[in-house]
Amino acid sequence: MVVLKSKGEIELMDHANSIVQSVLDEMERMIAPGVSTLDLDRRAEAMIREASGVPAFLGYNGFPASLCTSINDVIVHGIPSDKEVLEEGDIIGVDCGVFYKGYCGDSARTFAVGSVSSEARRLLDTTRVSLEHAIQAVQPGGHLHDIGHAVESHVEEAGFAVVREFVGHGIGTAMHEEPQVPNFGSKGTGRRLKPGMVLAIEPMVNVGGPGVKVDADGWTARTTDGSLSAHFEFSVAVTEQGPQVLGVARDAAAATA
């Protein structure tokens, strides 16, 4: 069942997402060769708690950290470690979730570590822009699969592949709610989008094929062919006026869209 949120609930989710965005901004400042993913996780958890939030990922189905840190061929759900040290030319996806007063925020960005290859840069740009197209497709009265169609068409035009085994999701008092939000689909299909729906939209894009394999830790999901992968995500509310990107200043969100 899809739970529609009130204006007050969306305001709480906006605040939760503003904490997430502050953390991701700090991660962008910290990311550099020689920094470990555990360094990032410790700083993120401290920031979340200082902001009166609760790390949404920590302990979720046994996940041991506050961030997911996914380097190079890792698509999502990488586990922070002091043994995982960033190197020049890496790319790293950082996914962060926060509960604030019982409501969840969830967002991700993929960052370049120093100077990266032209292919890596094109992957980051393509994935980020596919999310912008997806946000534009969040319109009251539109269809759920309009979102995935927007992602898939942009990604495939660039010659990359959309991951199909992982999808976006509804979000609210739980981190994962209905509906699922795939990054592929046919325009004009799927359930109708209604004001009050809040969706975590998160394109995951591979340079090579769409295949996924999971490490023995049960979490770390990689590309089967070892190719690079990128991940961007925003929590987006459906309003009468169109999409509202949560946690982002309205002028900045308008520029993104």
The sheet carrying 229-231 orders its strands as 161-162, 204-206, 229-231
pLDDT at 249: 76
C-alpha distance across the termini of the chain, in Å: 28
- Single out the residue of 113, 137, 119 nearest to residue 203, CA to CA: 137
Residue 225 lies in a domain: yes
* Block mean pLDDT (10 aa), the chain, length 257: 96 98 98 98 98 98 98 98 98 98 98 98 98 98 98 98 98 98 98 98 98 98 98 98 92 49
What's the full length of the chain, in residues? 257
Task: Show the beta-strand stretches assigned E in the chain.
Answer: 54-55, 67-71, 74-76, 91-100, 103-112, 161-162, 168-170, 177-181, 198-201, 204-206, 212-214, 221-223, 229-231, 234-239, 242-245
Measured from the Cβ of residue 220, the count of other Cβ atoms closer than 10 Å reads 20
Q: Which residue shows structure tokens 């305001």?
A: 11
Residue 24 lies in a domain: yes
Residue 230 lies in a domain: yes
CA angle 93, 94, 96 (to 5 degrees): 145
| Residue numbers of the domain that contains 233 | 7-256
pLDDT at 252: 52
Token reading at 222:
């990689």
Residue 136 lies in a domain: yes
The H or E element spanning position 144 is helix 144-157
Residue 2 lies in a domain: no
Beta-sheet pairing, 212-214 with 91-100? unpaired
Q: Give the CATH number, domain containing residue 174.
A: 3.90.230.10
Residue 15 lies in a domain: yes
Check if the beta carbon of residue 92 is closer than 8 Å to that of residue 69: yes
- Single out the residue of 72, 15, 65 nearest to residue 40, CA to CA: 65
Residue 1 lies in a domain: no
pLDDT at 257: 47
Residue 125 lies in a domain: yes
Beta pairing partners, 237: 198, 244
Measured from the Cβ of residue 224, the count of other Cβ atoms closer than 10 Å reads 13
Alpha-carbon distance 247 to 238, whole Å? Answer: 14
Number of structural domains in the chain:
1
CA angle 93, 96, 99 (to 5 degrees): 170
Check if the beta carbon of residue 40 is closer than 8 Å to that of residue 80: yes
pLDDT at 65: 98
